[in-house]
């Protein structure tokens, strides 16, 4: 931990200093926060710091970001409209566009668990059944005994609210008559995938509803669409919903049932800046890896609606203290679904507003044909919508309009996300699609095939932008072993060779002192140079030579710390991807 002399005038800052030191997700966040805090202390005290902070702390790497430490109970609601979100992100370019490492990663370049993200398939094995189950507390639900408790407050998908006998509220939404099962199937699939990836999502189910059996609860209200005022919900309000719904042959309706998240709604989060009323929100959102990497997941599942208004912040409380939990929300417009119709041809291929193609169309009097207009979508069941993979290019995929976090995604962020995508097996993907319960088997087969094919393209595009060495370990006697994530994912063939450069690492000064020359190996094992493993910290930078993978020449660097007591071996404590090791000055080298 950092030790700083504080004069009496700054004594009141001690508790805050302790909080800042413990509230850190990794070296990037730690250094950014501590630098700002030290600047504040400098203004309050003339006593200089006793020593510089070490690069690695004894508890690194951290796997939990304690972003519930400060009371956020005074946080208010942020309700961005669709129009506001579009204009700000299209015309305003909010947030930073800067080539900087994600600020919330830990020292081994991973995302800790937090109010934003919980590691699941990225860190542990998940069965196909667990992935398909997602966040759901029950295997299936029935709506017996439920009452209609209110109208739906937003969104283009028709629906209303119902409350179960235990008092839990759910949102009920219907599919469009033109495309039965379209939006509900997309929502089921998207929720299961995003949950397994690690995002916070709500329980979702498909159920069948009998319009004639619905009971409107006393006190149920709806916001009148004509004047915006609250009024009692009437039978004709439900008629307006079901008139826009796909009807089953038995006269019932297939509906999507979404459980309300616990806590107090605070509106949406934004993909840029910080929430000003949340003292735990220390990292600008465009520099959070889980939001940057969401670009990869969005491309895979064609989640073109990846934007702030399709998110949800909830204020949760316990023991008189509050914290904000962040949810990904509304997956009705993914894959081939446009929620109330099949996805548009443009979706995923071009922003709603782009100057270049617009000017080209104008300059050629409409003769310019935009590339996506030539995509030949196959004939598929209407529940699928419009989805393909042959012309899909992950690197060219776009959401509906610019996204600050997506624009800041770096190769190391993309590698992190692509490796997660690679962990979804064909069997797991099929299990998720089966959960959508399409009535036409052809829809299940087509969507499964599309998601598998898009997975392979996404992984190949982004896992190879850096040297994809993973699962690195150093034995007590100095034997290094590692795997190649791209080869394991069948996104590349093995390289011709690996090149290893070893160094000693000074934790106090950050100096890296090369030991021995470059070492070349053909497989995932090598012995450290003689005498290297006598210090407390050692490291190795790895590149690979592959004629078709130039990104593998971008090094991945790994730093190990010697254990103590009952654990005398070497523990991985640092990972850097895409950064060449900086050698120490010549005078400092052995």
pLDDT digits 0-9 by tens, 83-110: 999 999 999 989 999 999 999 999 999 9
pLDDT of residue 29: 52
- Given a cut of 70, the residues of the chain with pLDDT beneath it are 1-52, 564-567, 579-590
What is the phi/psi pair of residue 277, to 5°?
-105, 10
Token reading at 394: 């992950």
**CA pair distance 71, 578, nearest whole angstrom:** 37
User: Angle of helix 441-462 relative to helix 426-435, nearest 10 degrees?
Assistant: 140
pLDDT in tens, 48-73: 443 468 999 999 999 999 999 999 99
| Tokens 């992935």 -> residue | 131
pLDDT at 43: 40
Helix 294-301 vs helix 441-462: crossing angle, to nearest 10: 140
44 half-sphere exposure, CB direction, 13 A CA radius: 16
- The CA-based angle 331-333-338, given to 5 degrees, is 160
SS3 assignment, position 147: strand
DSSP, res 494 = P
**What is the per-residue pLDDT for 590?**
35
* Structure-token pair, residue 461: 């595009």
Which phi and psi (to 5°) does residue 557 adopt?
A: -115, 140
Q: Give the pLDDT confidence score for residue 471 in this predicted structure.
A: 96
Whole-number Å distance between alpha carbons of 364 and 360:
6
Q: Which residues are registered as beta bridge partners of 324?
A: 315
Q: Are 443 and 380 in contact (CB under 8 A)?
A: yes
- Report yes or no: 535 and 18 within 8 Å, Cβ to Cβ: no
Angle in degrees, CA 354, 356, 360, rounded to 5 = 120
Which pTM does this prediction carry?
0.89
- CA–CA distance, 22 with 339 (Å, rounded to integer): 44
Token pair belonging to 71? 């009371």
> From CA 364, how far away is CA 352, in angstroms rounded?
20
Whole-number CA gyration radius for the chain: 26
pLDDT at 215: 96
**What is the secondary structure of 404-471 as a DSSP string?**
HHHHT--HHHHHHHHHHHHT--HHHHHHHHHHT--SSHHHHHHHHHHHHHHHHHHHHHHTTSS--EEE
Task: Measure the CA–CA gap between 457 and 465, rounded to whole angstroms.
Answer: 13
Q: Which of 468, 472, 471, 498 is nearest to 485 (CA)?
A: 468
Asked whether the beta carbons of 536 and 562 are under 8 A apart, the reply is yes
Domain regions of the chain by residue span: 54-456, 469-588
Q: Which CATH number fits domain 469-588: 1.20.120, 2.60.40, 3.40.50, 1.10.3470?
A: 2.60.40
What is the distance between the alpha carbons of residues 553 and 580, in angstroms, rounded to a whole number? Answer: 10
Longest dimension (CA), the chain: 85
Other CB atoms within 10 A of residue 211 CB: 14
pLDDT the model gives residue 186: 97
Question: Residue 329: left (phi > 0), alpha (psi -120 to 50), or beta?
Answer: beta
385, 335 Cβ separation under 8 angstroms: yes
Three-class SS state of 381: coil
Using alpha carbons, select from 542, 530, 531, 529 the residue that is nearest to residue 572.
Answer: 542
CA distance 236 to 312: 30
């Amino acid at each position: 931990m950092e030790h700083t002399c504080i004069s009496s005038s700054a004594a009141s800052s001690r508790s805050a200093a302790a909080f800042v030191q413990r509230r850190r997700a990794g070296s990037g966040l730690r250094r950014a926060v501590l630098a700002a805090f030290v600047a504040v202390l400098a203004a309050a005290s003339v006593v200089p710091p006793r020593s510089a902070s070490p690069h690695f702390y004894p508890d690194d790497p951290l796997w939990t970001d304690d972003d519930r430490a400060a009371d956020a109970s005074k946080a208010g609601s942020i309700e961005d409209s669709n129009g506001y979100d579009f204009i700000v992100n299209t015309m305003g370019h909010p947030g930073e566009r800067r080539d900087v490492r994600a600020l919330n990663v830990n020292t081994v370049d991973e995302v800790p668990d937090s109010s934003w993200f919980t590691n699941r398939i990225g860190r542990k094995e998940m069965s196909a059944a667990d992935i398909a189950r997602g966040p759901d507390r029950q295997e299936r639900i029935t709506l017996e005994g439920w009452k209609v408790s209110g109208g739906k407050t937003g969104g283009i998908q028709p629906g209303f609210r119902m409350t179960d006998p235990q008092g839990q509220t759910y949102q009920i939404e219907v599919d469009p008559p033109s495309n039965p099962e379209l939006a509900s199937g997309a929502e089921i699939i998207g929720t299961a995938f995003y949950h397994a990836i690690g995002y916070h999502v709500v329980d979702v189910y498909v159920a069948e509803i009998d319009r004639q059996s619905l009971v409107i609860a006393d006190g149920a209200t709806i916001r009148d669409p004509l004047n915006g005022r609250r009024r009692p919900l009437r039978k004709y309000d439900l008629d307006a919903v079901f008139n826009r719904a796909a009807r089953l042959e038995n006269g019932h309706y297939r509906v999507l049932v979404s459980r309300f998240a616990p806590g107090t709604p605070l509106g949406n989060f934004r993909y840029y800046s910080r929430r000003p009323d949340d003292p735990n929100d220390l990292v600008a959102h465009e520099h959070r890896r889980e939001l940057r990497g969401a670009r990869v997941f969005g491309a895979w599942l064609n989640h073109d609606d990846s934007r702030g208004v399709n998110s949800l912040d909830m204020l949760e409380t316990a023991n008189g203290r509050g914290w904000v939990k962040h949810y990904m929300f509304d997956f009705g417009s993914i894959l081939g679904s446009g929620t109330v119709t099949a996805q548009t041809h443009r979706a995923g291929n071009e922003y709603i507003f782009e100057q270049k193609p617009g000017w080209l169309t104008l300059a050629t009097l409409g003769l310019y044909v935009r590339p996506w207009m030539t995509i030949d979508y196959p004939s598929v069941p209407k529940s699928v919508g419009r989805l393909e993979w042959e012309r899909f290019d992950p690197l060219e995929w776009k959401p509906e309009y610019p996204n600050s976090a997506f624009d800041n995604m770096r190769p190391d962020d993309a590698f992190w996300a692509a490796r997660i995508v690679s962990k979804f097996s064909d069997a797991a993907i099929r299990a998720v699609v089966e959960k959508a319960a399409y009535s036409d088997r052809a829809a299940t087969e087509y969507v499964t095939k599309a998601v598998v094919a898009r997975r392979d393209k996404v992984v190949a595009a982004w896992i190879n932008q850096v040297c994809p060495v993973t699962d690195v370990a150093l034995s007590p006697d100095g034997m290094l072993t590692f795997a190649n994530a791209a080869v394991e994912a069948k996104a590349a063939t093995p390289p011709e060779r690996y090149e290893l450069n070893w160094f000693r690492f000074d934790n106090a000064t950050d100096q890296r002192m090369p030991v021995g020359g470059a070492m070349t190996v053909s497989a995932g094992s090598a012995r450290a140079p003689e005498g290297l493993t006598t210090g407390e910290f050692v490291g190795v930078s790895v590149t690979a030579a592959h004629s078709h993978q130039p990104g593998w020449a971008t090094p991945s660097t790994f730093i190990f710390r010697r254990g103590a007591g009952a654990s005398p071996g070497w523990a991985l404590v640092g990972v850097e991807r895409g950064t060449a090791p900086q050698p120490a000055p010549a005078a400092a080298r052995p």
